[in-house]
Structures are given as structure tokens and as C-alpha cells.
């Protein structure tokens, strides 16, 4: 009588389990790396969305505003209302469409909006704003130029503690909607 041995030997089983373990270890490492990259991408996206919200808020207010006044520590502060601010200023004040006084400025690494006496921070604490500069043209009453404001925002965003900060510079221009005749 012949005995039939079907199946795998012990060596074959050890080799196949070892290969399976190596493949699973490599794929687990790749999966964990992808999870980490996804977290960083989501955090960066959240911060960019927050920064975009702050820029859009300023843009809308500036478009519907009037009587722009620059103040700050730059060489040409623009003086009182009705004058251009050609060399830039770190703070801008104006009257919004509801006749309220609105001020935008950079304070302690954030963009701050003050409506009347109430001030609020527009940017996330992980967004570090190092410089905000406003330029106003066409504000004079004797010119025939529609008032417009160009502003630049510089800083860094830090999505997490592991990866380094990401530097950004954003510049935009808003022209006053109210006709300046």
C-alpha cells in the first residue's frame, strides 16, 4: 500500500509565511505614510481655506467701502482722509456700506478687523502673518481716478509640528464700487 503525502512541508510553510509577513510589513509602512501625508494635506488645506476667508472678507469690505485712510509706521502714511497712500501703510481705515468705521491691520501675527470699537482676528493661530501693507490710489477729491486699494499679505502657515512652515505672499486689488465723480 502506498502512502500519499499531500500538503506542504514545514520549510515551505515557513518560507511562505515569511514572504507574506515581509509583503504586509512593506504595505503597512506605505499605508501609514499615506495616512500621514493625508493629514498634512488636510491641515494645509484648512489653513489655506482660512487664509482665503480672511482675504475675501477684506476684499468685500474694501470694495463696498469709501473714504480710505492710511495710518501706520511707513514713510508715507497718507495723512488724513482724502489722500493717497502710495508708499504703503500697515493699517487702513474706511467707512463701509453701513456707514460704520472699519479698520484692518496686522497685530501679533494675525490680520485683525475692527468694526467700530469691536475687533476680531480673521486668521487661524497657525497662520502667522508677518506683514500686511495697504496702498491707496485715487482717493483725492480733485482726481478723476476711481479709488482702489492694493494690499499684500506675507507670512507662514504651519500645518503641524513635524513639518516646517510654508511661506506665502498674497497680493490683491479692490476698487471702490461707489462711483467717485
Q: Is 67 exposed, middle or buried (0-12, 13-18, 19+ CB in 10 A)?
A: middle
CB of 173 closer than 8 Å to CB of 149: yes
**Does some domain include residue 113?**
yes
Q: Which of 110, 113, 112, 103 is nearest to 155 (CA)?
A: 110
Report the pLDDT value the prediction gives residue 72, as an integer from 0 to 100.
64
**Does some domain include residue 1?**
no
Max CA-CA distance within the chain? Answer: 117
**Does some domain include residue 62?**
yes
**Does some domain include residue 161?**
yes
| 72: containing domain | 10-175
Tell me which of 18-27, 73-82, 84-93 is least confident.
73-82
Question: How many domains are contained in the chain?
Answer: 1
**Does some domain include residue 180?**
no
Judge if pTM exceeds 0.95.
no
How far is residue 86's CA from residue 171's CA, in Å, rounded to a whole number?
A: 15
Strand ordering across the sheet containing 127-137: 85-89, 127-137, 148-157, 166-175
pLDDT band at 159 (very low <50, low <70, confident <90, very high): confident
**Does some domain include residue 2?**
no
State how far the alpha carbon of 144 is from the alpha carbons of 19, 68, 139, 141, 147, in Å.
79, 16, 9, 8, 9
Average pLDDT score, the chain: 85
Beta partners for 101?
Answer: 95
Tell me which of 3-17, 35-49, 113-127 is least confident.
3-17
Q: Which of 12, 18, 57 is nearest to 153 (CA)?
A: 57
**Does some domain include residue 94?**
yes
**Does some domain include residue 145?**
yes
Helix (H, G, I), strand (E, B) or coil at 83: coil
Helix (H, G, I), strand (E, B) or coil at 71: strand
Amino acid at each position: 500500500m502506498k502512502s500519499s503525502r499531500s500538503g506542504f512541508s514545514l520549510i515551505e510553510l515557513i518560507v511562505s509565511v515569511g514572504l507574506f509577513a515581509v509583503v504586509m510589513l512593506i504595505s503597512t509602512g506605505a499605508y501609514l505614510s499615506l495616512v500621514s501625508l493625508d493629514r498634512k494635506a488636510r491641515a494645509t488645506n484648512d489653513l489655506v481655506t482660512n487664509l482665503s476667508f480672511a482675504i475675501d472678507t477684506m476684499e468685500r469690505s474694501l470694495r463696498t467701502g469709501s473714504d480710505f485712510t492710511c495710518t501706520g509706521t511707513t514713510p508715507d502714511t497718507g495723512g488724513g482722509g482724502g489722500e493717497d497712500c502710495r508708499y504703503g501703510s500697515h493699517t487702513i481705515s474706511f467707512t463701509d456700506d453701513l456707514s460704520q468705521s472699519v479698520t484692518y491691520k496686522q497685530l501679533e501675527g494675525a490680520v485683525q478687523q475692527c468694526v467700530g470699537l469691536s475687533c476680531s482676528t480673521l486668521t487661524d493661530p497657525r497662520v502667522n502673518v508677518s506683514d500686511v501693507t495697504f496702498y491707496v490710489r485715487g482717493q483725492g477729491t480733485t482726481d478723476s481716478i476711481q479709488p482702489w486699494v492694493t494690499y499684500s499679505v506675507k507670512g507662514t502657515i504651519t500645518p503641524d509640528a513635524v513639518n516646517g512652515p510654508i511661506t506665502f505672499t498674497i497680493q490683491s486689488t479692490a476698487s471702490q464700487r461707489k462711483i467717485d465723480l
